[in-house]
Amino acid sequence: MNNSSNQNNSQPKINAEIESLDQEGRGVAHVEGKTIFIDGALPGEIVTYISTRKKSSYEFAHVDQIIKASNLRTTPKCKHFGQCGGCSIQHLEFSGQVAAKQRMLESNLKHIGKVKAEAILPPLYGPAWGYRHKARLRVKYVEKKQRVLVGFNEKATRFVADIQSCDVLVPSVSKLIMPLQELIIKLSLRDRIPQIEVAVGEHAIVLVLRIMDPLAPADEPLLRAFADEYQVQIWTQSKGPDTVMPFYPLDGAALSYSLPEYNLTYPFKPTEFTQVNPHINKVMLRRAMQLLKPNADERIADFFCGLGNFTLPIARSGAKVFGFEGSAALVSRAVESASLNDLHSEVSFSEADLFKITPESLNMLGYFDKWLIDPPRDGAMELVKALPEDHNMIPKAIVYVSCNPATLARDAGILVNEKGYVLKAAGVINMFPHTSHVESIALFELAS
């Protein structure tokens, strides 16, 4: 767990009381005026620790001894926990994970945004294991050991963890880790495959091999045999995203996911962004629709719309919906999905760089009754700053779906303290169990 303990063994042990978790899943304590981030510690625990990095106002450390354990501490299910960096809080009981994420959201809103939600929404749960339908697996050929490693990075290093399975991946994909190691060691370019991107749809599993050299003729039958044996599709990527293409089989089923509640089906390419947890995606959409309350006579904007994950369910209400997205490829996919689901007349998709939007360019889009915002980790600061001061010209409600509580809190501060909105409700979505990643949703309404 530690790479600098040799200088700490003789240090006197100091008890630290853990107050909370930070956004990396480390316990946070304050000792003699310094903030200590302690890997492996949980809220409510008293521990001694070994420092790994010291600064004037804070330190990074790992647990040395647990003096008083949390009653929410549990034995991690995965035998690779602590070595693999894919999960950081498996040692915290499942309900405790969600509670910690809720506290993190509320703390960010308070300290960063200077706002408080009028209501805290019940957290949204899903399966605790086998939930991850998309992943990027690192690949490393270890020449000295004549082995290939396939998995995630080790904790706090750039090395690939030596794992045989992964409990958060879809079980059928977890079972491929060892066979993939055995396959790649046989390939001529075993040292020229840095990554495998995994995408699981409802009718297909695709493995995209990032190849730095062309496949040799002897490699091709090995890949075909693997695809046949494990019922997967092999795709390759030699350079940028436009080089992603199927290798075998060429007539495999298309990747797609569905939303039965809205009678929708979405096709997607393996490297295009989709939610990694389809179970939670369904309940998240239901929550978003409950908060947005779209009506048939409304004009609604979906910013950072991607391939239309929220846009098309909103359109099922009869509202006129406009999706805006920075990726031309995703806009094209969204248009395809709208046509496939007979919604092309209810929705309109446009390519737009929402990180460079101005009050003038926002005004050109026209008035919208409501907004839905689902930005990446950077948030939507330029978009919310571009809202005009005139309350007759801004949406009466905004539903904000966030994958970073810090940028949500920052943008909430702008909406509430500068633009005249009230934060009516906020809550967490446990999209990524056993990780410290916090997904959340918030409702803002224009003050009367």
Task: Give the active site residues.
Answer: 403
> What angle do the packed helices 94-111 and 405-417 form, to 10 degrees?
40
Token code pair at residue 284 = 């998240």
Q: What are the distances in angstroms from CA 187 to CA 80, 213, 215, 408? A: 27, 12, 9, 46
Q: What are the distances in angstroms from CA 390 to CA 89, 360, 396, 416? A: 45, 14, 12, 15
Residues 102 and 425 sit within 8 Å (Cβ to Cβ):
no
Residues 448 and 183 sit within 8 Å (Cβ to Cβ):
no
Token code pair at residue 27 = 């316990």
60 is an annotated ligand-binding site residue: no
Instruction: Report how far residue 76's alpha carbon sits from residue 83's, in angstroms, rounded to the nearest whole number.
Output: 12
Ramachandran angles phi, psi of 280, nearest 5°: -70, -30
166 is an annotated ligand-binding site residue: yes
309 is an annotated ligand-binding site residue: yes
Q: Would you give the end-to-end CA distance of the chain in angstroms?
A: 54
Q: What is the DSSP string of 159-195?
A: SBP--S--TTB-HHHHTTHHHHHHHHTTSTTTTS--E
87 is an annotated ligand-binding site residue: yes
Strand positions, DSSP E, 55-106: 58-68
Contacts 24+ apart (CB under 8 A), 364-368: 365/301, 365/322, 365/324, 366/299, 367/299, 367/393, 368/299, 368/300, 368/301, 368/322, 368/395
Token code pair at residue 373 = 């915002």
Instruction: Report how far residue 157's alpha carbon sits from residue 180's, in angstroms, rounded to the nearest whole number.
Output: 22
353 is an annotated ligand-binding site residue: yes
Helix (H) or strand (E) holding 171: helix 171-174
Residues 411 and 105 sit within 8 Å (Cβ to Cβ):
no
Residues β-bridged to residue 51: 61
The letter for the amino acid at 290 is Q
Residues 30-44 as b/e (b if ≥16 CB within 10 A, e otherwise) read eeeeeebbbbbbbbb
Which 8-state DSSP code applies to residue 261?
Answer: G
305 is an annotated ligand-binding site residue: no
Residues β-bridged to residue 320: 299
- Around Cβ 12, how many Cβ atoms within 10 Å? 5
Ramachandran angles phi, psi of 209, nearest 5°: -85, 120
Could you list the residues known to form a binding site, using ranges: 78, 84, 87, 166, 275, 304, 309, 325, 353, 374
Could you list the residues known to form a binding site for S-adenosyl-L-methionine, using ranges: 275, 304, 309, 325, 353, 374
Could you list the residues known to form a binding site for [4Fe-4S] cluster, using ranges: 78, 84, 87, 166
